[in-house]
Amino acid sequence: MAGLVIPAHLGPARRTCRQCRHHGVEGMDIVCRRFPPQVTVVLVPRGAPRAGQLAPQPFATFPPVVPEHVCGEFSAGAAGR
């Protein structure tokens, strides 16, 4: 994911997703829960008796982030996670 990442040689950043209270862990991903999930609609094949037709299937996901991202919505409070 594109984003501003603090290079390691500049030292530890203190306002990154890792320290933000809005970050969450979903399986192997770190996601941002600052705003509601983003909805994507995928067309999937239907079963009988409507085989050959497509049906809309919505998915709602929080956007993935990496721990070193910084952004203007940072909010302190995740220390110790």
Cα–Cα dist 34/52, whole Å: 39
Residue of 1, 12, 13, 17 that binds ligand SF4 (CB under 6 A): 17
Counting runs of H as helices and runs of E as strands, what totals does the chain give?
0, 5
How many positions of this chain bind ligand SF4 (CB under 6 A)?
11
Q: How far is the CB of 2 from ligand SF4 (least distance, A)?
A: 12
The residue (of 45 and 64) whose beta carbon lies closer to ligand SF4 is 64
Q: How far is the CB of 41 from ligand SF4 (least distance, A)?
A: 24
Cα–Cα dist 47/56, whole Å: 13
Contact assessment for residue 13 and residue 31, using Cβ atoms and an 8 Å cutoff: no
Chain contacts with ligand SF4 (rule: CB under 6 A)? 17, 20, 22-23, 32, 34, 65, 69, 71, 73-74
